[in-house]
């Protein structure tokens, strides 16, 4: 996004921008805001807050990051939760702190929820529901839940989006986008990480989460992919009672997946629950390529017969077939301790401006695998290992797609839950047979035929479009419109220094001219006079003295004379 365009949009929300910057400064981030040059266009009262932040009690910077995000509200909390999965971007101490971010928001008035449901569904509530509880059952940053009963007596829950949440999120995302563009421009160590791209990922995630009709589609897709599995239950969607802001679902009653005592009382075996959860999630990720990405115990209910009910599909992930198969190769390379195959698989998943040096990359893979080489598989933690692998890619400036970090987050949470249910559960051994089967299926004649046919179609498409593309290049060259762009890397710092030096030189020339002009005015005795001396000349000397003082202060602030 263009810097000036973003800045223009940001100024339309200057009060909120001031609030964001004030909160960051209050929590001790004035140094960062100064580096981002925010004080160059914010009012004087705020500049003093940036340079002289108040005292704060929390000792560590990661803790202050979390507190600032919580104070800034839902959009920034969601952004922090997104970043808590990105081991390639932030050190471990920041990730551990961001995981603690809570959607601690008050419920909005039940009457407002009733009004929104009436507005979206049309007609009085009694036309659609026999009963609708005004008091919310639960509240989160995007929506809250109300209990209700249909006219035929069936129990449902109604998810209602928070009023004006889309406007608030849009404003915060514009501000976040501008801060990201400043970071990309002024922080060299963050430039390769593409902060603006990260904000775009957060924006897409929030857009999906705020569209409750999309969540309904996710539920229906998930139900379809597990239609033949009696151990999976998905709440029924009532499409006629839903909209983009309202989602009406079958109410499911069950036992929270981590409530061991309740499972035993109901005659259910926690070990079977752990096995089924692992089987379901491995199938979601490696077979179907569409997975429930929030395996919080509150979103997983155990029903009679060890059936697992999956709730809350606001956060889901997708993987195309190529990515699924490459990820399967990575996991198999881990199990077989093949660092060369592991390095190749990671690079196949990655996006990088320059490919890392192969020997150094493989050496790092081998060093990581040495940590696990002599441990039994049951002591391996698949989510943790994948997190370490992906964070290691940052050392080589290799960018990994956000969906893979969502998988790591999902697997890490799932492993924590399965180990709660069964301390001896071995996720790696559970995954290995499925992974091997996926890799073997790639070599089946039918699959090889499909791959060759796809390659043939792509080649044919390329050959058929080549003449037209060549004609277009020649036509643009004849018209003088053929442009070749060169990107110079690493020149930002010297260019900034040159720009600063030229500005100071121009300022000094202007200052010198003002001194000479004032001297000529005094020498010529140009009226009006003050005590026999030209007042204009004295004013010029006073102005030049102030300008010289300002230049000296600016130079000293940057530590250079």
- Residues with catalytic roles: 294
Distance between CA atoms of 295 and 314, rounded to whole angstroms?
A: 12
Beta bridge partners of 139: 144
* Count of CB atoms situated within 10 Å of the CB of 465: 10
Q: For 376, phi and psi rounded to 5 degrees? A: -65, 150
Query: How far is Cα 167 from Cα 544, in angstroms, rounded to an integer?
Result: 49
- 317: part of which helix (H) or strand (E)? strand 316-318
Those residues with Cβ within 8 angstroms of residue 26's Cβ, 6 or more apart along the chain or in another chain: 49, 53, 54, 56, 68
Nearest to 410 by CA among 504, 296, 258: 296
Strands 307-310 and 232-233, sheet pairing: parallel
Rounded CA separation 27/206 (Å): 26
CA nearest 244: which of 145, 135, 153, 160? 160
A 10 A CB-CB count for 181 gives 21
Residue 54 DSSP one-character state: P
Please report, for residues 88, 180, 415, 437, the alpha-carbon distance to residue 404 in angstroms, rounded to integers and kept in the order given: 11, 22, 16, 21
536 φ, ψ (degrees, to nearest 5): -65, -40
Q: How far apart are CA 51 and CA 33, in angstroms?
A: 9
CA dist 264 and 261 (Å) reads 5
User: Do 176 and 195 meet the contact criterion of CB atoms below 8 Å apart?
Assistant: no
Strand locations in 109-203 (E)? 129-132, 138-139, 143-150, 155-161
Contact 424, 373 (CB under 8 A): no
Dist CA 480 CA 49 (whole Å): 53
Q: Quick one: which of 386, 393, 321 has its CA closest to 360?
A: 393
């Amino acid at each position: 996004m263009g810097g000036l365009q973003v800045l223009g949009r940001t100024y339309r929300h200057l009060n909120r921008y001031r609030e964001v910057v004030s909160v960051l400064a209050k929590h001790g981030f004035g140094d960062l805001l100064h580096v981002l040059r925010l004080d160059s266009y914010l009012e004087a009262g705020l500049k003093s807050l940036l340079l002289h932040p108040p005292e704060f009690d929390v000792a560590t910077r990661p803790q202050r990051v979390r507190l600032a995000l919580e104070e800034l509200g839902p959009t920034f909390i969601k952004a922090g939760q997104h970043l808590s999965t990105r081991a390639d971007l932030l050190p471990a101490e920041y990730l551990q702190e961001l995981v603690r971010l809570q959607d601690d928001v008050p419920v909005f008035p039940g009457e407002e929820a009733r009004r929104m449901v009436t507005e979206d569904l049309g007609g009085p509530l009694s036309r659609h529901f026999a009963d609708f509880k005004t008091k919310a059952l639960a509240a989160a940053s995007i929506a809250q839940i109300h209990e209700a009963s249909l006219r035929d007596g069936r129990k449902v829950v109604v998810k209602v989006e928070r009023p004006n949440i889309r406007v608030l999120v849009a404003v915060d995302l514009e501000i976040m986008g501008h801060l990201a563009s400043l970071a990309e421009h002024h922080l060299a160590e963050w430039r390769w990480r593409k902060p603006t791209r990260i904000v775009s990922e957060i924006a897409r995630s929030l857009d999906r989460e705020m569209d409750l009709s999309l969540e309904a589609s996710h539920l229906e897709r998930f139900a379809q992919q597990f239609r033949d599995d009696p151990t999976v239950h998905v709440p029924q969607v009532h499409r006629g009672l839903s909209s983009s802001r309202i989602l009406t679902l079958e109410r499911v009653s069950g036992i929270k997946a981590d409530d061991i005592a309740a499972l035993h009382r109901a005659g259910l075996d926690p070990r079977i629950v752990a096995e089924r959860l692992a089987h379901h999630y491995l199938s979601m990720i490696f077979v179907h390529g569409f997975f429930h990405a929030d395996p919080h115990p509150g979103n997983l209910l155990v029903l009679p017969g060890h059936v697992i009910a999956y709730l809350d599909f606001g956060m889901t992930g997708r993987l195309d077939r190529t990515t699924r198969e490459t990820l399967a190769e990575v996991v198999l390379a881990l199990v077989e301790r093949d660092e060369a195959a592991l390095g190749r698989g990671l690079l196949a998943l990655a996006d990088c401006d320059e490919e890392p040096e192969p020997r150094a990359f493989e050496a790092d893979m081998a060093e990581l695998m040495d940590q696990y080489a002599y441990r039994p598989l049951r002591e391996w933690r698949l989510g943790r290992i994948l997190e370490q692998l992906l964070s290691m890619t940052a050392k080589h400036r290799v960018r990994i797609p956000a969906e893979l970090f969502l998988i790591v987050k999902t697997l890490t949470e799932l492993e924590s839950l399965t180990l709660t249910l069964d301390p001896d559960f071995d996720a790696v051994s559970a995954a290995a047979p499925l992974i091997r089967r996926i890799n073997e299926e790639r070599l089946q004649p039918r699959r090889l035929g499909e791959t060759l046919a796809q390659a043939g179609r792509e080649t044919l498409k390329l050959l058929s479009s080549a003449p037209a593309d060549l004609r277009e290049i020649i036509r643009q060259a004849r018209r003088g419109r053929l442009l070749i762009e060169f990107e110079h890397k690493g020149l930002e710092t010297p260019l900034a220094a040159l720009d600063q030096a030229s500005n100071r030189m121009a300022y000094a020339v202007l200052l010198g001219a003002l001194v000479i002009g004032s001297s000529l005015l005094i020498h010529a005795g140009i009226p009006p006079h003050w005590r026999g001396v030209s007042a204009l000349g004295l004013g010029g000397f006073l102005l030049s003295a102030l300008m010289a003082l300002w230049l000296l202060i600016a130079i000293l602030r940057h530590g250079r004379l």
